[in-house]
Every structure is written in C-alpha cells, then in structure tokens.
Amino acid sequence: MDLAHVVLLVAAGLAAGGVNAIAGGGSLITFPSLIGTGLASVAANVTNSVSVFPGYVSSVAGSRADLAGQGRRVRAVLPAAVIGSIGGCVLLLATPGRVFEVVVPFLVLGAAATLAFQERLRGLVGHPHAMSPRRASLTLQGVVLVGAVYGGYFGAALGVMYVAALALILDEPLKRINALKNVLSATVGLLTVLVFALFADVDWVAVAVLAPATVVGGYAGARVARRLPARVLRYVIVTFGTAIGLVLLYRAFA
C-alpha cells in the first residue's frame, strides 16, 4: 500500500465515520475506496466491515446522552441483533451475492422513502401510541432482526434503514432514535468483526489505516447529529439514503 492509498483511506474513513453517525451509509465511501487500493470485492467488503466498527463505537459514545432511559429497550433487542448479524455473515460467506446486490438498492430507496413519508405512513399503520405493547415489541424485534441480517451481509445504509423503520415504531424524538440506531449498528459491527476475523480474508493493513479515521469521524458526526433539529436531521438522512440507493442501483445494473 503506497502513500496515495493511505491518504485515500484516511479521508474515506473520516467522511464515512461522520456519515454513519449522522445518517448511515458511510460504507459507500469506504468500500469503493478499498476497491481503489486494489482489493477484490469480497475482500474489500469484509475489510470494510471490520474497519468501520470502531466508528460505530465512537458514535455510541458521542450520542450517549440520548440513550438515557433506553437501557431496557436496548437489552431487549440485542439478542435479535446478534442472531441477525451472524445470519447475515453466514449468507455473505456461503452464498453468491448477485441476487442480494440487485435487491439491496430497492431496500435502501424504500427505507429513505419510508422516513420521508413517515407521518403519512403512520396514518396507515397507526401511530405508535395506538399499538399494543405486544405488537410494538414484536414489530421492534422483527425490524432489528431483519436489519441485522442485512448489516451482517453488506451493511451499507444500515443506519438509514434502521432509522426509517424505528421512527415508525417508536414515539421518540429522532435524535433518540438515531442514538439507538448507533447502538444497533455497533452491535452488528462487533459480530461481523468476530466472524470475519475468524473466517474471511481481511486486509489488516487497510484496517489499521481506515479504522482510526472512522473513530474520529464517527464521534464528530454523532456530536453534530445531536445539535441538528429533527426536520434537518430527517432531511439529511433521506437525502443520503436516496443517493446511496441510486448509487447501489447503478452498480447493480451497470
């Protein structure tokens, strides 16, 4: 790895860490950058998953004030996040990715649209207050599980998808939902690190360059997210989600 590659990965890590903390989708910055250093696509994917994990952790630290009072909720959904993450990693390592590559762009665009039209959709599915505790709990578990499977497999725009879905289920300010998203993303990231470190071809030199940059970017991004008004944060997330979905769509059919 030459100096130009190091500079590329540092810049990508800083940008991706901040994007992941604010809206999600930072992997669409780091993944192509790893490809640009000469890694094959699967090796770039697993290396990226390992590299961005520290940025998720720093995002949790930066948004910890908005996690106050959510401890019980976090503990309730962690098993679903763990199981889903392992399942997604197994899918990545054991199956061809072409079908999922085609499906992913539509999932991401759907997630962005869900957040953009959140209030109208609530009118169709019901406001969180109208849900019974059992229904709300089961729906939350299902959303976390499906999101974790996706995150274990690829993970780009996982944060966008989580925020969009959680905002329909939870009657919470968006910054508190964003903080919960950071915890879930960090959990998925931890499981992918453990699985890929044992069973996948990780480029540890690239990880050593990229990971510290995602930490700095993730912490700074989480601090920025806490200061953004809910409407602005929603606009940022929807914009990132739409852009990410279109990029993935182009890559799938180019």
Rg (CA), the chain: 17
pLDDT-derived band at 9 (thresholds 50, 70, 90) equals very high
pLDDT per residue over 130-167, tens digit each?
778 888 889 999 999 999 998 999 877 788 888 888 98
Average pLDDT taken over every residue of the chain: 86
Q: Coil, strand, or helix at residue 108?
A: helix
* For range 35-59, the mean pLDDT: 87
Give the H/E segment covering residue 76. helix 71-94
Reported pTM: 0.82
Q: What single-letter amino acid sits at 120? A: R
Distance CA 146, CA 100 (A): 14
The number of beta carbons lying within 10 Å of the beta carbon of residue 101 is 15
pLDDT-derived band at 18 (thresholds 50, 70, 90) equals confident
Candidates 11, 23, 28, 29; CA nearest to 240 is 23
The number of beta carbons lying within 10 Å of the beta carbon of residue 130 is 11
Report residue 110 as tokens: 């759907």
pLDDT-derived band at 6 (thresholds 50, 70, 90) equals very high
Distance CA 254, CA 230 (A): 36
Whether the predicted pLDDT of 125 surpasses 70: no
pLDDT-derived band at 122 (thresholds 50, 70, 90) equals low
Distance CA 207, CA 196 (A): 12
Q: Are 23 and 159 in contact (CB under 8 A)?
A: yes
pLDDT per residue over 212-251, tens digit each?
998 888 888 777 777 777 678 778 878 888 888 898 888 8
Distance CA 101, CA 50 (A): 20
Whether the predicted pLDDT of 43 surpasses 90: no
Max mean pLDDT range (17-31, 41-55, 152-166, 183-197) = 183-197
Whether the predicted pLDDT of 190 surpasses 80: yes
pLDDT-derived band at 26 (thresholds 50, 70, 90) equals confident
Q: What single-letter amino acid sits at 68? A: A
* For range 87-95, the mean pLDDT: 91
